[in-house]
Each structure stands twice: as structure tokens, then as C-alpha cells.
Amino acid sequence: MNANRTLAAAVSAAMLLFGPAPAAAHGDGDHVDRSDDPHWALFETVAISQAPPDYRYHAAIPARIEAIAGQEMTISGYAVSLGQEAVTDHFLLSRYSPECPYHAASRPNEMVEVRLANPVRLPLGREIRITGRFGLQQNGYAGLFFRLDGGAQS
């Protein structure tokens, strides 16, 4: 019985020290600040690995993703700025909002490098739709395997 009290006291102290679990902080569930665009579920099928000596990311791209390379695609997500500019034509599109402190950073199969035809003001913190030509790349040092070229915000 004494061990149970000690454990309960430790859990209570941890809750006071660290606060509630992140999922409880959302209130609306885990889909807040996460894009449910179906392309992200497809991209999750890409197996990502790292190995010594350089710990560069490696991606095993399934044939069904290779088959859509070169085609026009529209995908929703959250803009992640690559610099300090408010207006840009080059940024990352993420499945998760970078503004949400309750989500870990996106994995390499949850990011798309975007190059627009014309610069736009990035609408940070809200979901956007981008249309462009989908492509694959092998940038294992940056962990980038997908891209949209010549795109536009739709």
C-alpha cells in the first residue's frame, strides 16, 4: 500500500511540474492543425531510414508514388518558411502546422518542397492548397523527397 501512495504522489508531482499531456491541451482532438488531405496518407507509405556513417535519410518510394511523378497535383497543408521573407516562391508544405506546439516536427514523408511560379505572402498558421507538378527528389541530407514545381496557391 505504501508503494502505491508513493507512485500516486510521484504521478501527481509530475503532473504539477509538467502540466497535462499535450493531447489534453488541444480540446478538439488530434486533428487540430493537421491536414487530412489524402495525399499525406499516400506519402506515409514511403519507408524512411537513416544509417551510419552520414545518417542521411533514405526513402523507399513505392511504385504507386513513382507513377504520379510528373503529374499535376493539388495538396493541402501548412506553409513552413525557409527564411525571413514574408513573400516567397520557395517554402515547405507540411502535414502539420509549425505553429502548433503539440505536434512533433513533420517526418520526411510529411513534407513537400514547393517552388511557385510567382511569389506569394505565406499564410502561416492556416491550411492552404497548392497546385503544381509533383516530382520526386533524393535530398537525403535535408530529408526532402517530394516537390511541387511551378505551382500556385489555389
- Segment 102-152, tens digit of pLDDT: 666 678 999 999 999 999 998 878 899 999 999 999 899 899 999 999 989
Return the C-alpha cell found at 127: 491550411
Q: Is residue 133 part of a domain?
A: yes
Q: Per-residue confidence at 79, pLDDT binned at 50, 70, 90? A: very high
In Å, how far are 18, 72, 99, 113, 117 from 151, measured between CA atoms?
A: 43, 9, 23, 11, 6
What CATH number is attached to the domain comprising 68? 2.40.50.870
Q: What pLDDT score was predicted for residue 56?
A: 92
* Higher-confidence position of 101 and 48: 48
Q: Is residue 13 part of a domain?
A: no
The position carrying cell 520526386 is 136
Average pLDDT rounded to a whole number, residues 93-109:
80
Q: Which domain holds residue 52?
A: 27-153
Average pLDDT rounded to a whole number, residues 50-62:
92
Domain count, the chain: 1
Cα–Cα distance measured from residue 35 to residue 43, given in angstroms and rounded to the nearest whole number: 13
Q: Is residue 4 part of a domain?
A: no
